[in-house]
Amino acid sequence: MSQVIGSTYRHFRFRFNTTLRAVATIGVIVVPASASEEISKADGQIRPDVAFQSALRDVSETENNEQRNERLNRIQDLSVGRHDHMIGQLLWYYATSDEKVKASSVVGRVLDHHDVPKQTSVFALIPHLDDRDASVREMTRSLLQGYEERSASRPPDFSAYRSFIEAKIRTGGEPSDSLVRHMYESDPGTALLAIMRGYQLRDPDEMKLILWAEHVVADLFWKRRHGFLGPKAVEPAVIRQLRLLAQHERWWVRMYVAEILRRHPELARPQVLESLQDDAHPLVRETILKATEKHSKRSRDP
């Protein structure tokens, strides 16, 4: 499937317009953290609702604005108190459609018709990062990136992820590997800090260690970006901080190092690569394997 939506507006009208411009785009909305309970079978697949799917097709088949609004209102009626159900039906409709552009338009119109808080929408999307259908997972990731509202002048907004993680931790749970992976693939530095705050660390020394290390690494990239250093320049202080974090007891801190090395093989050092290859957490091992492959290729290139 082609690349889907890379950004969305702060509210649904922006997301609708973006959806209409995308060739292979989906929008999803609103749900509490328990969204997947009603829309999924035991095997993790979305269960299509005949009435809902019919209503979505009806929207796609009219060019009359007044009639379209009536049909959108019908979908809204079907969704009252069941926003979790809506998200599954929108995903299923798009994922199974043979006309992606048309399906994108329908989904965008439905989203534009429902004004739901950003956090509610993000909470709705997160469970679908683990959907069995690869196209659903890909669309979910792309929509989440849209809600992150990244721009050239500012980092992505991970506040909703932080709230989701906080809620998990308060109830004795943990964020899913899929969410952590998505966050680090989107922006490693912002992810590290958001997860740290989501876990509500209380030890000032531990927090300072993480904050300082992220600052040192981010500063290197800032210097590169603004021409104070070459595009592949390496500073000893960065290598020291990555080595230090690679030994941290929290897996999501080590995951930060693995993702940085995956993106920037010039920062990789054999000692750190080897230590993370045997990491206790599978996501860290998976990520560092990719980093090792890039590092090996870089070493072989003339």
Residues 140, 60: contact at Cβ < 8 Å? no
Taking a C-beta distance cutoff of 8 angstroms, is the pair 213, 244 a contact? yes
Written as six digits, the tokens of 28 are: 């999803």
- Residues 86/120, Cβ–Cβ less than 8 Å: no
Question: DSSP secondary structure string, 139-162?
Answer: HHHHHHHHHHT-BTTB----HHHH
| Sequence letter at residue 131 | D
User: 43, 74, 32, 44: which is closest to 57 by C-alpha?
Assistant: 74
3-class DSSP assignment, residue 302? coil
Least confident range of 78-92, 122-136, 145-159, 204-218: 78-92
Pick the most confident of 51-65, 140-154, 235-249.
Answer: 235-249
The predicted pLDDT at position 235 comes to 97
| Helix or strand run (H / E) with residue 206 | helix 204-225
Question: Residue 299 — pLDDT band, cuts 50, 70, 90?
Answer: low
Diameter over CA atoms, the chain:
66
Using a 10 angstrom Cβ sphere, with 0-12 exposed, 13-18 middle and 19 or more buried, the burial of residue 7 is middle
Q: CA 194, CA 245: separation in Å to the nearest integer?
A: 16
- Helices first, then strands: H and E counts in the chain: 16, 0
Residue 150 CA to residue 187 CA, distance in Å, equals: 10
Q: How many CB atoms lie within 10 A of CB 199?
A: 17
DSSP-assigned beta bridge partners for residue 225: none
pLDDT of residue 2: 35
Question: Rounded to an integer, what distance in angstroms lies between the CA atom of residue 81 and that of residue 213?
Answer: 45
46 backbone dihedrals φ, ψ, rounded to 5°: -70, 140
Q: Considering the chain, what percentage of its residues have pLDDT values greater than 70?
A: 83
- Contact call for residues 207 and 201 (beta carbons, < 8 A): yes
141-164: average pLDDT: 90
With 70 as the cut, is the pLDDT of residue 52 above it? yes
In residues, how long is the chain?
302
Does the pLDDT value for residue 41 go beyond 50? no
pLDDT tier at 58, thresholds 50, 70, 90:
very high
Average pLDDT taken over every residue of the chain: 83
pLDDT band at 90 (very low <50, low <70, confident <90, very high): confident
What's the angle, vertex CA 165, arms to CA 123 and CA 238, rounded to 5? 120
* Lowest-pLDDT range of 47-51, 135-139, 227-231, 236-240: 135-139
What letter would DSSP give residue 40?
B
DSSP SS3 for 46: strand
